[in-house]
Amino acid sequence: MHTSDSVFQAWFGMSRTCFIESLRCLADDLENVDQCAQALSPDVAINTWALAKRAVPCLIGRPIGHPSVADGKPAASSELFYLDPERGIARTMSRWYRLGTRVDVEYWSDRVAGNL
């Protein structure tokens, strides 16, 4: 692994080559959002979602059908690149989401603070 690869691995959890491939896939999806089959019916849904911020925009919510997060377990998405609430879809760095019920960000702020 090259030095630059170790930096990419530390920051993005993948090699530089994989990161570039992910960005290309993202760019292709955004360029063709109206024809993208994954955008028409994403495999992963997110309920009780709100637009939130980390160091980058993201979604927080309870994913359903996610490959590595248990259904209904609270999670934050990877960086958000596309959000279309009217069409009910969003594209993060890693995948498309089908948007379920939207909530105000305070819903999650209260839960993170322990004020259930």
Residue span of the structural domain in which 65 resides: 33-112
Cα–Cα dist 69/74, whole Å:
9
Q: Are residues 5 and 56 in the same domain?
A: no
pLDDT tens digits, residue range 39-81?
777 889 999 999 988 788 899 999 999 999 999 999 999 989 8
Which tokens is 51 given? 């637009």
pLDDT of residue 46: 94
Q: Are residues 43 and 65 in the same domain?
A: yes
Mean pLDDT score, 25-32: 89
Q: Are residues 100 and 52 in the same domain?
A: yes
Tell me what percent of the residues of the chain surpass a pLDDT of 70: 88
- Closest alpha carbon to 54 in 99, 8, 92: 92
Which tokens is 22 given? 């992910």
